[in-house]
Amino acid sequence: MAIFVIVLAQASVVDTVLTYSPSMKKNIKAVVITPDSYATGKAFPVIYLLHGFSDSYKSWVAKSKNILQLSDQYNVIYVCPDGATSWYFDSPVNTKIKYETYVSGELVKWVDQHYKTIKSRRGRGITGLSMGGHGALYLAFRHQGVYGVAGSMSGGVDIRPFPNNWDLSHNLGEYKDYPQNWDKNTVINQVHFLKPNKLSIIIDCGTEDFFFNVNQDLHAKLLKMNIPHDYSTRPGSHNWEFWTVSIQTHTQFMSWYFTK
């Protein structure tokens, strides 16, 4: 294990850690943020925080102005893994891309071994922005035994309207040739995995966001299937100004879940 520690002006501590993925046979970096209370506390809830396309494990701590303060305020650990351009699934066309296995299995196990965490779904949440919003709901819907609460900020929750964007065809094959891969790996088609009142869910999206319509569609489907969820929209587009507000709302929502 390699850990490089940066102590910033806030009381939170930011670790850059090197983890190993047996399924992909490579080392992957992540940022781990621990709150000021970590040294004296016994076990902490963890929020896995996923980045968007073209960003990296460093993006949340570098671009979100309030992330360290929120860790202290809510006494949570944030884990920000590097998802490359994977969309956080195990690719059906490229055996080297297994980020569902990595994030929801290998990384969770590693974090629980190396940090003082609540080692159950009751103390584990996942959320993210854009590609990471897709990834968070995709992983949580399929792994309800791992996560108790999940969120999406401006998430690409239905990837099928975007067949030529964001390296999706690299991970799934061309849409015209492999439509079944796209159908099986889009969030909106994972809803059938949800068990009633098993997973707490929060979703938000800006009304000027290019993912607004697919979020509206997911909200309508969840309503139709009587799946409880917190859904909100507000003026905003696909940018850090929107997500800086969203992460505060999502962290508060998840903290309520952890403490109830």
b/e map 220-252, b = 16+ CB within 10 Å: eebeeeebebebeeeebebebebbebbbbbbbe
The confidence score (pLDDT) of residue 9 equals: 44
Q: What is the pLDDT at residue 214? A: 98
Q: For residues 20-31, b (16+ Cβ closer than 10 Å) or e, as one string?
A: ebebbeeebbbb
Instruction: Mark the ranges of the chain whose per-residue pLDDT is less than 50.
Output: 1-10
Measured in residues, the chain has a length of: 260
Per-residue pLDDT at 260: 85
Domain range for 116 is 2-259
Read off the CATH number of the domain in which 178 is found.
Answer: 3.40.50.1820
The pTM of this model reads: 0.93
Q: Where is 180: in which H helix or E strand?
A: helix 179-184
CA angle 24, 49, 67 (to 5 degrees): 140
Angle between helices 67-74 and 240-259 (to 10 degrees): 10
Work out how many domains the chain is built from and give that number: 1
* Angstrom distance (rounded) from CA 38 to CA 115: 9
